[in-house]
A and B are shown apart, each in its own frame.
Chain A
Amino acid sequence: MTRSLRPSRAGGAALVLIVCLGAPMGTAAQTHPDQPSPAPPASEYPSLRLSGFGNVDVAVQNKSEGSRGFSEGQFVLHLASALSPRVNFFGELSFTPRTDAGTGSPQATGFNAEVERAIIRFDHSDRLKVSFGRYHTPINWWNTAFHHGAWLQTTISRPEMTQFGGRFIPVHFVGALVEGGVPAGGVNLNYQAGIGNGRGNVISRGGDAGDNNARPAYVLNAFAKPDQLFGLQVGGSFYLDRVSQPGLPEVDERIAAAHAVWQREDPEVIAEIADVRHRAVGGPSTSSNVAYYVQVAYRLPSAARLWKPYYRFEHIDIDATDPVFDIATNAVPNLDGSTAGVRFDMSTYAAIKSEVRSRRRVAGQPRTNGWFLQICFTF
């Protein structure tokens, strides 16, 4: 790296932009990252890569909790472009079918378009990368591993604690992130530290148009991927924010989360827990809301390797006195849920998943049961 591009200096953001603007023109558009594309003798910039994800879902439920029948899932476009050897842009666009399509005045559109992620990143080295933009908050492993492509994840559904549009954790984060990793004698320690806007007026959103209070949100995430246990990742994260909503008292939010993941498929084990604590500013007491899940999957051997059965148990426990989640517009329901299913990879880029879910929201109340089918693919 040249001295003039050092990001640790105060003008890092401006330098990133200067480098981006200075990148030579001439787009070399490509498709999937693993597609055979002739290796050029020298890279051209920007080198845009475009890939997409889609899914079609079927749901049969004894009580409506989400869609029923056939539904078109999210149509997702992902763009990755190297603007220079050290500057990259990542974008993720989603188009989600609206249940209120054609209603209202003006009439609601058929699909909701969203810029899910837009990140510009400057790579100094493996130890230091600096980025700005809209992220999936690195407070939760699933949230940063699978994003909006259903094909990438083993199951049909995400764990409810990290559901898109959910409120338990702040799924999106608008701000800046510093990240990197060091070998640390084979332990491979990685870190991510960020500052951003935190939750917006609608707590499931990330304050895209600016912070709604004077307190930024902070996130710190650290994890290890030891060489000796290839496939294992363990880590934890911490998040601080002040939640401000019109007409409601401000609340300090602290989130502590941890994860342990065995990423091989024989088996695949994912376990995460998060504790979201709220305290009204100046208030005497803190409420604690805990959610966790454990997912186990196994890619069957040899001739049956296209099949991958899985099971997930998840639990959400909301404090009845919580000053954020106890408000009707922010409500997060309790959950005791089980998901069991199987994934069949009908090709390298397409899969069919079938799963049953059983969920109980209130102790002593009947469970909601459902059967779901998903055809998902990447293109």
Chain B
Amino acid sequence: MRVNINGKDQVLNDVDESTPLLWVLRDTLGLVGTKYGCGVAQCGACTVHLNGAPVRSCSIPISAVANQRITTIEGLAGKNGKLHPLQAAWIKHDVPQCGYCQAGQLMSAAALLKQTAKPTDADIDAAMSGNICRCGTYPRIREAIKTAAATRATE
């Protein structure tokens, strides 16, 4: 089986086809930025992009994404290492507390900005409601998304 992860083709041997994408990323490929939180697509900590759209990798078997494009948190910054405007905004607003959910939050936010360049509060609510932050950094997530949208507009 072959999948494209962060622009790189990966050949997967010896992986059970029913294994969720999350565990292939974490255990097989060593990409541990994507997190396990609930295993039932409730918390969003495992959010990655499948062909550009946000999905919960804990609930998608690897067989369903064969030959498709996956982007994880490790692939969010540019190839030259330049941070995505959302990552820069996350640092500027000092969003994280424990930080465990933030990879998933960033991937959901990145998908939102791709679709909607200048999201409203309602857009943010709709796009981000699948991601739980147990520490309650929601006010800063909201601010950081708006900052990143503004940065993009001026770039």
Q: Report whether chain A binds chain B.
A: no
